[in-house]
Amino acid sequence: MNRVEVWLDEHEVGWLKPTDVQPAATDAPRRLSLAYLERWTSEVLAFPLAPSLPMPPRGGPGSESSAQEVLAFFDHLLPAGNARRRILAAQGLTPDDSYGALRLMGRDLAGAVRLIAEGLQRPAGPVQRGISPDELSERLRHRDERPFAVWDGQVRGALGGERDKLGIYVERDGSWYFVDGPQVASTHVLKPASDANVGDDQFFDEFFCMRLAARVGLDVAPVQLHTVPEPVVLVERFDRQRLEDGRVRRLHAINACQALGVPPADQGGVTFAQLFSLLAHSPTPLVDSRALLRWTVFRQLIGCEGTGATDLSFFVDHGGLRVAPAHGFTRGTGQAGAFDAQAWAGFGRDCDIAPRSITLELKRLCELVRAQAEGVARELADDVPQPVIERVLGRLLGESDRQAALASEIAR
């Protein structure tokens, strides 16, 4: 049967297969059909893959769904844009073949999801494939010749999104590997600078902002900068837990688009009201509301565009959704600080947040950014090009001053 097993870490929860219905557009991906297993839905601590993919009360007949939210959820697990086209072409697949890509790439995805395809060989035990600095450097310098996620003729460590990145396992001695097999998974995400320019300013900008976010108290994924000699950022995965015996446990985490059932092509239309509506699924809505407000304020201070729905992650378990550590503070190309007092007031109304709460958080973060940004700049002076530091500092300090001045107007 042409279907794959769907697992959450070590629990088989259902199956996935393509539907027989052909899409109206010739270049559109075929819809996928998902069914939860009755033995999973009968578990006391069972939970769905996402709120957009609810479980039936008791599984069994009628539990299969081919709603558009199924394809939307799984498409977010795959590379997008040019990275997707190149990777799939190297494997003889077309860009619209989401199911074929999931069969090939599904053993180590974002969150706890694992896809086990029938007919594909599975390793009997853990397999490690080392990545030396020299080999990585060579691959970075020749990304125009081979897709970055294709190693040894097969896809390794490919993750969702348009930017090149790899899921890798970092050993305790600091060595890097691709891994496969039972009870082992990648522990970090390796993110290089862009294809076009290894001195990519946005790459260093994001690294600086992640370090600053941690300094001002946001819960963020730890990041390190390495040179091989090309610069790469290593992000510790918050959806992984390394156990003392060497095993790696997968923790289920999804982005806001997956939670809402929004496909990658429509992510730009997600509103702040939709993001905050997800707190209805949280067992600790007051805690998560504050975390989400701080995340939103910090994004405004550093000049991020849009709502950042794909960069906002939630842990998922039987208790519901909880805001996960922040990541991906990528600055847009537009004017920083798009929010004025009127926009903040509208944000508060749409998201049901009291003006006083916005005012207090805005003042607090502006003060912290002004107090900590120059210290972070000094610490990273040997890692981040000076022109980038000067530009980021100028924007951060100027925007913090502007937003602090706005704060007193919001409560009026």
Within this chain, do residues 278 and 333 fall inside the same structural domain, yes or no?
yes
The torsion angle over the Cα atoms of residues 259, 264, 267 and 268, rounded to 10 degrees, is 170
pLDDT band at 200 (very low <50, low <70, confident <90, very high): low
Q: Read off the pLDDT of each residue in 319-334 and give the average, rounded to a whole number.
A: 84
Within this chain, do residues 134 and 229 fall inside the same structural domain, yes or no?
yes
Query: What integer pLDDT is reported at residue 123 of this predicted model?
Result: 66
Q: Read off the pLDDT of each residue in 260-277 and give the average, rounded to a whole number.
A: 96
Within this chain, do residues 258 and 304 fall inside the same structural domain, yes or no?
yes
Within this chain, do residues 403 and 256 fall inside the same structural domain, yes or no?
yes
Query: What integer pLDDT is reported at residue 57 of this predicted model?
Result: 76
What backbone phi and psi angles, to 5 degrees, belong to 334? -85, -170
How far is 253 from 245, CA to CA, in rounded Å? 23
Within this chain, do residues 257 and 244 fall inside the same structural domain, yes or no?
no
Helix axes 341-351, 386-410, angle to 10 degrees: 70
Within this chain, do residues 138 and 234 fall inside the same structural domain, yes or no?
yes
Comparing 208 with 201, which gets the higher pLDDT? 208
CB count, 10 Å around CB of 111? 26
Query: What integer pLDDT is reported at residue 1 of this predicted model?
Result: 57
Residue 229 preceded by cis peptide, ω within 30: yes
* pLDDT at residue 26 greater than cutoff 70: no
| 226 occurs within a structural domain | yes
Query: What integer pLDDT is reported at residue 58 of this predicted model?
Result: 64
Within this chain, do residues 104 and 203 fall inside the same structural domain, yes or no?
no
Domain boundary among the residues 117, 140, 159 is at: 117
* pLDDT at residue 382 greater than cutoff 90: yes
Within this chain, do residues 85 and 180 fall inside the same structural domain, yes or no?
no
Q: Read off the pLDDT of each residue in 345-370 and give the average, rounded to a whole number.
A: 95
Query: What integer pLDDT is reported at residue 318 of this predicted model?
Result: 95
Is the CA virtual torsion 369, 311, 169, 197 positive or negative? negative
How far is 378 from 298, CA to CA, in rounded Å? 20
Comparing 350 with 337, which gets the higher pLDDT? 350
> How many structural domains is the chain composed of?
3
Please state the pTM of the whole predicted model: 0.93
* pLDDT at residue 197 greater than cutoff 80: no
Residues 6+ apart with CB under 8 A from 285: 279
**By residue range, what is the domain housing residue 82?**
4-117
Are 337 and 300 a contacting pair, CB within 8 Å?
yes
Single-letter residue type at 372: Q
Q: Which residue from 28, 162, 191, 193 is spatially nearest to 87, judged by alpha carbons? A: 162
Domain boundary among the residues 248, 283, 302 is at: 248
Tokens of 176: 């890097």
| 271 occurs within a structural domain | yes
Within this chain, do residues 256 and 391 fall inside the same structural domain, yes or no?
yes
Within this chain, do residues 90 and 150 fall inside the same structural domain, yes or no?
no
Single-letter residue type at 84: R
Query: What integer pLDDT is reported at residue 122 of this predicted model?
Result: 67
Query: Where do runs of H (alpha helix) occur along 91-200?
Result: 98-105, 133-141
pLDDT band at 410 (very low <50, low <70, confident <90, very high): confident
pLDDT band at 196 (very low <50, low <70, confident <90, very high): very low
Name the least confident of 120-124, 139-143, 277-281, 320-324: 120-124
State the chain's mean pLDDT as an integer: 90
Q: Read off the pLDDT of each residue in 378-386 and give the average, rounded to a whole number.
A: 94
How far is 268 from 73, CA to CA, in rounded Å? 16
Q: Which residue from 185, 200, 213 is spatially nearest to 140, judged by alpha carbons? A: 200
Within this chain, do residues 375 and 256 fall inside the same structural domain, yes or no?
yes
| Three-state secondary-structure class, residue 148 | coil
DSSP letter at 319 equals T
Within this chain, do residues 288 and 236 fall inside the same structural domain, yes or no?
no
What pLDDT digit, counting tens, does each position of 67-91 carry?
999 999 999 999 999 999 999 999 8
Domain boundary among the residues 70, 87, 117 is at: 117
What pLDDT digit, counting tens, does each position of 204-213 carry?
999 999 999 9
Q: Specify the CATH number for the domain of residue 330.
A: 1.10.1070
What pLDDT digit, counting tens, does each position of 220-243 carry?
999 999 999 999 999 999 999 999
Q: Which residue from 264, 139, 135, 265 is spatially nearest to 195, judged by alpha carbons? A: 139
Comparing 397 with 329, which gets the higher pLDDT? 397
